[in-house]
A = this chain, B = another copy of it.
């Protein structure tokens, strides 16, 4: 399987997963069908859109509307699934971590192929990974959860993006590097959730 094919399916899977989390979140705000679908589309396509605009590439889902269909399809299915019965919020942590890993690799690799400097490429990975969720939280009028004291969300993405860049710098092939980077993001995020690992934070002194 070529890197481009892998990236294509990674992107598609990340889009579907993010659309699902968008609808789950919209469910807490009394949104109607179209509102929930628009939040799903913004969550699913937002990160990659910002990345493509910043890199002055063609926006990925404008060129290939399969992504848009995947986001709308996943959003619709989720909408009718959660109307039937409640889904506990913690069910959504694992798909969300998978989506973060997928988007981070998708975003970093796309920036590298565009020959941006390495620090910019790693930030593009983080942006692709987290902006969708930031948009989702802004549209639902919450402080974006990525920014709050939490369990290594953006940090996991950043480390994964740097792993992806470093491995390729040392001559590892892009396919192997992509799997290693995804495993890194997923491992850091899941371990942080399990053991409540956090970074130093600001805020009112105890």
Contact = CB atoms under 8 A, between A and B. Distances in A.
A6 interface: no
Contact of A68 (B27, B35, B123, B139): B123
Q: How large is the interface on A (under 10, 10 to 19, 20 to 34, 35 or more residues)?
A: 35 or more
Contacts of A169: none
Interface string A31-52: 1111110110100000001000
Interface string A81-107: 011000000000000000000000000
A34 to B, nearest CB: 4
A32 B62 contact: no
A68 to B, nearest CB: 6
A51 to B, nearest CB: 10
B149 A30 contact: yes
Nearest to A86: B205
A171 interface: no
B203 A158 contact: no
Given A41-B123, A49-B54, A138-B138, A201 B149 contact: no
Interface in A153-206: 153-155, 158, 198-204
B150 A120 contact: no
Given A53-B53, A54-B62, A139 B134 contact: yes
A123 B49 CA distance: 14
A48 B116 CA distance: 18
Nearest to A202: B27
A69 interface: yes
A65 interface: yes
Given A29-B203, A35-B147, A62-B116, 5 more contacts: A31-B147, A36-B147, A61-B120, A141-B142, A141-B143
A49 B149 CA distance: 27
27 contacts: A27-B203, A29-B143, A30-B148, A30-B202, A30-B204, A31-B201, A32-B198, A32-B199, A33-B200, A34-B199, A35-B146, A35-B148, A38-B146, A38-B147, A39-B147, A41-B123, A53-B53, A54-B62, A55-B62, A56-B59, A62-B116, A65-B117, A65-B120, A79-B202, A82-B202, A141-B141, A141-B143
